[in-house]
Structure 1
Amino acid sequence: METLLSSIRIAVVTMAICVGGYSGAVWAVGQAVTPDTAAASLITTPDGTVIGSRLVAQAFTQPQYFWPRPSAVAYNAAGAGGSNKSPTSPDLTARAAETVKAYGATPENPLPAELAAASGAGLDPDITLRAARYQVARIAKARNIAVADVEKLIDKHAFAPGGFLTPDRLVNVLELNLALDGASVR
Structure 2
Amino acid sequence: MKQTIKISLKFVLVMTVLLGVLYPLTMTGIGQLVFHDKVNGQLITKDDKVVGSKLIGQTFEGDTYLHGRPQEVSQLSPVSKEQEELVTQRVKQTQELEGTTDKVPSDLVLASGSGLDPEISVESAKYQVPRIAEKRHVTEKIVNDIINEHTTGVDNFMLSNKRVNVLEVNLALDDL
Distance 2:7 2:75 in 1: 46
Q: After TM superposition, list the pairs within 5 Å mapping 1:35-46 onto structure 2.
A: 35-46=36-47
Tell me, yes or no, if the aligned pair for 2:120 and 2:163 is still in contact at 8 Å: yes
- Structure 1 residue 119, shift from structure 2 partner: 1.9
Equivalent residue for 2:95?
A: 104
RMSD: 2.5
What's the TM-score once normalised by structure 1's chain length?
0.79
Equivalent residue for 2:9?
A: 8
Residue 55 of structure 2 corresponds to residue 64 of structure 1: no
Equivalent residue for 1:90?
A: 81
- Structure 1 residue 164, shift from structure 2 partner: 6.0
Distance 2:22 2:80 in 1: 45
Distance 1:179 1:119 in 2: 25
Distance 2:46 2:23 in 1: 34
Q: Secondary structure at the match of 1:109?
A: coil
Q: How many residues align?
A: 171
Distance 2:63 2:19 in 1: 49
Give the counterpart letter for 2:147 in structure 1: I
Residue 135 of structure 2 corresponds to residue 122 of structure 1: no
- Structure 1 residue 126, shift from structure 2 partner: 0.7
- Deviates most, 100-109 or 171-180: 100-109
Tell me, yes or no, if the aligned pair for 1:43 and 1:53 is still in contact at 8 Å: yes
Distance 1:113 1:164 in 2: 19
- Structure 1 residue 154, shift from structure 2 partner: 0.7
Identity of aligned residues (%): 35
Unaligned residue ranges in structure 2 (runs of 5+): none
Distance 1:85 1:6 in 2: 53
Tell me, yes or no, if the aligned pair for 1:96 and 1:117 is still in contact at 8 Å: yes
Q: Which structure's relative contact order is higher, taking Cα pairs within 8 Å and 6+ residues apart?
A: 1
Equivalent residue for 1:77?
A: none
Distance 1:91 1:24 in 2: 47
- Structure 1 residue 121, shift from structure 2 partner: 1.9
Unaligned residue ranges in structure 1 (runs of 5+): 74-82
